[in-house]
Structure 1
Amino acid sequence: MKLNILNALSIFKNRLFSRQFLMITLVISFFFIYSPALAMPSNVTVKNVKFFSEGDSLAGTLFKPDNISAAVVLVHGSGQEKRMIELATLLAKNGIAVFTFDKRGVGESGGTYAGPEVGTNNVDSQNLNLLSSDVSAAVNVLSKYLLNDKILIGLMGGSQAGWIIPLAAGKNKNIKFMTIFSGALITVKKQLRFQFYTNGNSKFWDTHSEEDARKHIMNDPDKYEFIDTDPRESLSKLSIPGLWIFGGKDIQVPVNLSIEYLNSLKSRNKNYEYKLYPELGHNTAFSGSDEPVNYAIKWIRNIKSSN
């Protein structure tokens, strides 16, 4: 009887140890799979950094290759976005230093997040300017860690970042170029008119014409009242190069109208370019095609070599 009890206890201990070992193994495996530092090649240094902006502590990650061709701060679109590790990793592997941070009030960043999920307006002038100040502060962090004022620092982002990036560039002279995916060159209110009109319908352009869309954008009453932002006001004052990448089937940003406004700025000797992918939608940077991001990387390298 005593022997049976001892055997039972031994079996229980072995099973308990096996479960503990399995849990430890899973935790270790999770760390090795998802740690950005361990996913990096040996010539890229990864460092977590905290910094202050407008009285709040924000948190991000710095990716620093040994041989840096250029550097960027990644700028968020709308929503509760954390640091963009996957995109930062890709850029770092291509010799571009990156600083990416959690949006204020999200992840490890302090401050208050403003957005539709919490019943607030995240596209009014006050919030866009606040977010652009966060970006400007992040640029100063990146500049400090580069220790080389010959390396050009730029901004890269998509969607809502199309309004934030020009505001940030106007605040910080360290910003030397802009790369914007699917960013509107129309006012926030007009963009909202278009977005409400398309109503998330991926087949919108199969049943509507450019004329239909423009008529709605110019004449539809606004659903919300707030201080508007026109990116062309900021862009007209900047002298840095800029690249916009658009998808022809975008149903959140009126691409043809944005390109028309961009060409108007170019006619005033602004160094602005665009690349159109007719078959892509709004998320050009995160589509099934690698081409938009690869095109942006090549463009950034050309900016570097031309200065």
Structure 2
Amino acid sequence: MKPKNKLAIFKSILKAKKIGKYALLMLFFATSYASVIPPNFTTKEIKFVSEGNSLSGTIFTPNNIQAAVVIVHGSGQEKRSINFATLLANNGIAVLTYDKRGVGESGGLYAGPEVGTNNVDFSNLNLLSLDASAAVNTLAKSLSNNKIPIGLIGASQAGWIIPLTAEKNKEVKFMTIFSGALITVKEQLRFQFYTNGDKKFWETHSEEEARKHVFNDPDKYEFVDTNPNDILSKLSIPGLWIYGGKDIQVPANLSIENLDKLKLKGKNYEHKLFPSLGHNTAFSDSEEPMNDAINWMKNITKLKNQK
């Protein structure tokens, strides 16, 4: 090897070592700096009892609490929503999130098609609402300021469970629901079977065609139905519903129409429609739906505290 080439290689090695030392130094400073930044919230593992079963969860307590919520599950075997709770807590919202009954560290039996049982029969939705109600009571006891209103937040199937919970527990002061159906459970299933998971459904079908199936299709399953409109007509707390215009699990326009009927009766219910979004409005590529929900909850809390 020529001396000139050896010198070039030697210089390259020295340069690499300097870069490595610099990177390590930066990593050290970054780690040290992060370690002295206090978190915006604290967490506490908890257990509470609902209908004879012990449920496990986590309470997130921000340093400056501006609102408080219990996260209500959608369908499926859902554990506590740590990422969701962290997002809310970083925005000043105290949170209780827990493992659904029969899932994770929570006792009880999980109901769902994965295990051969019906999770949308009224008996199961009602049981899950009792769990959410027990969670509300647990969160209320953990708050040092009893003037902070507690609400419920959730998506999809939670749209049926949240009103049932609010009807049972007067501690619930507001509702925030992403993609919740304001039609009966059976009607929602008819719509879901009709769309059949086709992401381009709304490109080939009209609103009129969809409604025809919702109201006239034969039911594939028989179970005790739930009509959220009956329950919502009895409640006097504010609520916000957020929908995606391309939803193929919940008919957004029909749900909004029913919501408007309730508003005409004096209910303090609001809605926002994002035409380009689908069923997953809460955690879509757009941050706007979640930001709108957070700002709405904070504003509701301020208004209630001023009374």
TM-score (norm. length: structure 2): 0.86
Work out whether residues 76 and 103 of structure 1, in 8 Å CA contact, stay in contact via their aligned partners in 2. yes
Alpha-carbon distance in structure 2 between the residues aligned to 1:105 and 1:189: 25
Alpha-carbon distance, 1:305 to partner? 1.6
- What's the counterpart of residue 209 of structure 1? 206
Q: Tell me, yes or no, if structure 1 residue 142 matches structure 2 residue 139.
A: yes
| Matched ranges for 1:42-81 at <5 A | 42-81=39-78
Output the CA distance in 2 between the equivalents of 1:52 and 1:304. Answer: 28
Find 1:229's aligned residue among 212, 217, 226. Answer: 226
Q: How far, CA to CA, are the matches of 2:39 and 2:192 in structure 1?
A: 44
In structure 2, the partner of 1:9 is none
- 1:306 aligns to 2:299 (yes or no): no
User: Counterpart of 2:102 in 1: which secondary structure?
Assistant: coil
Q: What is the CA–CA distance in structure 1 between the aligned matches of 2:155 and 2:39, rounded to whole Å? A: 29
- Would you say 1:170 and 2:143 are equivalent positions? no
Given candidates 96, 104, 111, the residue that maps to 1:114 is 111
Question: What SS does the aligned partner of 1:265 have?
Answer: helix
SS in 1 for 2:101: coil
Instruction: State the identity as a percent.
Output: 73
**1:77-96 paired onto structure 2 within 5 Å:** 77-96=74-93
1:304 deviation in Å? Answer: 1.2
Counterpart for residue 12 of structure 2? none
What is the aligned length?
269
**Change beyond 3 A, Cα 1:261–1:106:** same
Q: Secondary structure at the match of 2:71?
A: strand
- For the Cα contact (< 8 Å) 1:105–1:113, is it kept in 2? yes
- Of residues 105, 126, 145, the one that matches 1:129 is 126
Shift of the 41–213 alpha-carbon distance from structure 1 to 2, 3 Å rule, reads: farther
Unpaired segments ≥5 residues, structure 2? 1-34
- Rounded to whole Å, the distance in 1 between the matches of 2:189 and 2:283 is 22
Q: Do structure 1's residue 256 and structure 2's residue 253 form an aligned pair? A: yes
> Which residue identity does 1:78 align to in structure 2?
S
CA offsets, 1:18-40, max 9 Å, x none?
Answer: xxxxxxxxxxxxxxxxxxxx9x9
**1:29 is matched with which residue?**
none
Measured in 1, the distance between the counterparts of 2:159 and 2:39 equals 34
Query: Which residue is equivalent to 2:238?
Result: 241
Cα deviation per residue 1:76-134 (whole Å; 9 max; x = unaligned)?
00000000011100100000000000000000000000001111100000000000000
Letter in 2 for 1:247: G
CA offset at residue 43 of structure 1? 3.4
Give unmatched runs, 5+ long, in structure 1.
1-37
| 1:41 shift after superposition | 4.9
- Is it true that 1:189 corresponds to 2:186 in the alignment? yes
Contact 1:41 1:93 survives alignment (8 Å) = no
How far apart are residue 291 of structure 1 and its match? 1.0
CA distance in 1, matches of 2:181, 2:240: 13
Partner of 2:9: none
Structure 2 letter corresponding to 1:88: A
Cα distance in 2 between the residues matched to 1:142 and 1:281: 32
Letter in 2 for 1:95: G
Deviation of residue 42 (structure 1)?
2.2
**Cα distance between partner residues in 1 of 2:40 and 2:151:** 22
Question: Aligned partners of 2:55 and 2:292: how far apart in 1?
Answer: 30
- Alpha-carbon distance between aligned partners in 2 of 1:215 and 1:236, rounded to the nearest angstrom: 25
1:284 lines up with 2:268 in the alignment:
no
